[in-house]
Structure 1
Amino acid sequence: MEAAPNNRNALANLAEDVVLEILHRLPAYSLLCCKCVCRSWNHLISNNHMVLPQTVAGFFYDGEKGEQNFTSDIDECPDLSFFPFPINKVVVLDCYNDLILCLCIEAARSCYVICNPATKNLWVLPPSIHVVVQARLGFDPTASSHFHVIEFVEEEDVECLGVEIYSSQTVAWIYQESKWGQDINDVIRSRSASVFLNGCVDIMGYSLILVVDMEGKTWRKIPRPHGTLPFIHQA
């Protein structure tokens, strides 16, 4: 009987330029994961920045208290000096697919700002109706060039009343009443990690994943298996 081919050896025998051509076609997050495959791939990716321009400089991630932190392979942080606001008044709330959602705090008012540090593009959002300053970002460049911001509307000692949803396509906020029901405030108030997938924002709590689409028509509560890892936001 003919022995089954050793796929690992076949992969290792690929010419370096062939491997580079394959890796060059990967999105940035997958490319970073490939650095963990083996030492040779780590060396190949780390030493071919011109050939692999998508190599990730670092990641934003959620801290233990819900704060946004940034870690970098090259000891650099995103340059936000192009902001028309004092940098000490800028708070990073969320980031996804190269866009960063910030809250700019001023004496007169606060506002949400979306920026792309690589291109220096910046969008100052109009004030939302409720101005809750608890928001997440939704953006999938493979599906659309437009982004969304979702803001949770709460009252003290009351379950989440609903959400404000901003669309860069309509340049406006809409309000939708919550259909999540009871026992969800711990997910929202804990600054749990979130991900934008198939037109919906998924917010991951300890025991629940809350899902809402960007028109406020789809609402789901999904039990979360314990021990799953939090999402990492790519910068």
Structure 2
Amino acid sequence: MDKGKNATVFMKSSNNKIYMELKDIIREHALQFLPAKSLLRCRGVCRDWKYLIATPFFVHNQSYSFRNLSGFFSQSSTSEPSFISLNPIAYGVPDPSLSFLPEPVDIRSSSNGLLCCQGHSGYNPYYICNPATKHWHKLPKPNNDHGSDPAVVLIFEPSILNFAAEYKLVCAFPSELDGYEFEIYSSCEKSWKTSGEIFLGNLKILPRSGVYTNGIVYWAGRNNRILAFDLSAERSQIHNGHGTLGVMDGKFCTASILRQNLSVQLLSNAYANTMQMYSNIKAWESHLFTLDRSVFAEGYPEEVSLLVNDTVILRKGKALYSYNLKTKETKHLGNESDDGKRRVVPYVNSLVDI
């Protein structure tokens, strides 16, 4: 009897060891889902957390786990970059003007915590940087002339199985054959490659309009046309559509203001143009969101600046607003300065190392 009781007590004491303390649970299962700014503050909690956050394995897990839109960089042709946070307490960067780079730059594109910037000197080199850590890398000179305002799209897809931060930079540049060609930089190969694909057609694409999703890069063109380039097949095609290009629920979409509504067109079939004639398959799905006029100063917004998943950035004059497609919440983010038309680039507050 005594031995049986003692054994029970022993097993109970042994089983208690499976329970973790709260600080250990947070360290092992929660920290990696926090944004970079919050993690830099968490380094002051204790020495254990400080060392953990600095390890390459943790940085890799955080860049894979945290994908939330944190804000956007804003820049005009005559100003240095600035950053507007969707939540200043949680999201931020130490140097929004990117003065840690070796020269003044223009922000061209972004992807999951990385920015693509272009310098003003020499051959206008491209820089890939992480503004949260101030780490950067200068790319070699492209093989082709990309023009003064290149249509480049940065592609970085974090993978739990790939420890290195591998990325690509895709540029659609004017061809001598009166169309567009495509040049691709690969961080794996550390070199540029010109695709054999040439798009021939009367189309003028808009720089800095490009987005990427599901293996395809899209650029907005004039006359309500969209140029698409499939990276794996290296084939291009045209879609009809208008508005600001974005990504919603992992699918390519366009967004525009339609009177008092926000109109979102979701591309449900990226290869609709290759279907047989008179096919019943619809290429686009329409979604309409009614905006609350009382939230905006003096009328409804004039344009959509960007759309990333559930978040839309709207512009009314110099005022910028965020609109959540799920909660329908609208928030005034602030006013832009009067130094010209600004372009905005989305940003994810990641620790990704390059």
Q: Distance in 2 between matches of 1:61 and 1:181?
A: 33
Q: Which amino acid in structure 2 is aligned with residue 127 of structure 1?
A: K
Closer, same or farther: CA 205–77 of 1 in aligned 2, 3 Å? farther
Q: Which amino acid in structure 1 is aligned with residue 171 of structure 2?
A: E
Of 108, 111, 127 in structure 2, the residue corresponding to residue 96 of structure 1 is 111
Q: Is 1:159 aligned to residue 178 of structure 2?
A: yes
Q: Which amino acid in structure 2 is aligned with residue 196 of structure 1?
A: Y
| Cα distance, 1:141 vs structure 2 | 1.4
Closer, same or farther: CA 203–231 of 1 in aligned 2, 3 Å? farther
Of 163, 168, 184 in structure 1, the residue corresponding to residue 203 of structure 2 is 184
Of 138, 151, 173 in structure 2, the residue corresponding to residue 124 of structure 1 is 138
TM-score by length of 2: 0.43
Of 219, 241, 244 in structure 2, the residue corresponding to residue 203 of structure 1 is 219
SS at 1:81 equivalent: coil
Write the mapping of 1:55-74 to structure 2, written as runs, cut at 5 A. 57-60=70-73, 70-72=83-85, 73-74=87-88
Q: Distance in 2 between matches of 1:61 and 1:82?
A: 17
Is 1:195–1:231's contact at 8 Å kept on the other side of the alignment?
Answer: no
**Equivalent residue number for residue 149 of structure 1:** 169
TM-score by length of 1: 0.61
Is 2:73–2:81's contact at 8 Å kept on the other side of the alignment?
Answer: yes
Is 1:154–1:160's contact at 8 Å kept on the other side of the alignment?
Answer: yes
| Cα distance, 1:200 vs structure 2 | 2.3
Closer, same or farther: CA 178–61 of 1 in aligned 2, 3 Å? farther
Of 128, 136, 158 in structure 2, the residue corresponding to residue 114 of structure 1 is 128
Please give the per-residue CA displacement for 1:194-216, whole angstroms capped at 9, x wherever unaligned: 22212222223462232213356
**Equivalent residue number for residue 82 of structure 1:** 100
SS at 2:125 equivalent: strand
SS at 1:137 equivalent: strand
SS at 1:161 equivalent: strand
Please give the per-residue CA displacement for 1:136-176, whole angstroms capped at 9, x wherever unaligned: 212211486311111222168x6333011101111111112
Please give the per-residue CA displacement for 1:8-45, whole angstroms capped at 9, x wherever unaligned: xxxxxxxxxxxxxxxx79989xx9xxxxxxxxxxxxxx
Q: Structure 1: where are the runs of 5+ without partners?
A: 1-23, 32-48
Q: Distance in 1 between matches of 2:81 and 2:153?
A: 12
Q: Structure 2: where are the runs of 5+ without partners?
A: 1-29, 36-40, 43-64, 244-255, 257-263, 265-303, 309-345, 349-354
| Cα distance, 1:131 vs structure 2 | 3.1
Give the superposed CA RMSD.
4.0
**Equivalent residue number for residue 194 of structure 1:** 210
Q: Distance in 2 between matches of 1:148 and 1:209?
A: 21
Q: Is 1:234 aligned to residue 347 of structure 2?
A: yes
Closer, same or farther: CA 162–177 of 1 in aligned 2, 3 Å? farther
Q: Distance in 2 between matches of 1:77 and 1:171?
A: 27
Q: Distance in 1 between matches of 2:200 and 2:226?
A: 13
Q: Is 1:172 aligned to residue 191 of structure 2?
A: yes
How much identity, in percent, do the aligned residues show? 24
Q: Distance in 1 between matches of 2:135 and 2:157?
A: 17
Report the count of equivalent residues: 184
Q: Distance in 2 between matches of 1:126 and 1:176?
A: 17
Q: Distance in 1 between matches of 2:234 and 2:84?
A: 36
SS at 1:193 equivalent: coil
Select the structure of larger CA radius of gyration: 2
Write the mapping of 1:5-20 to structure 2, written as runs, cut at 5 A. none
Q: Which amino acid in structure 1 is aligned with residue 240 of structure 2?
A: P
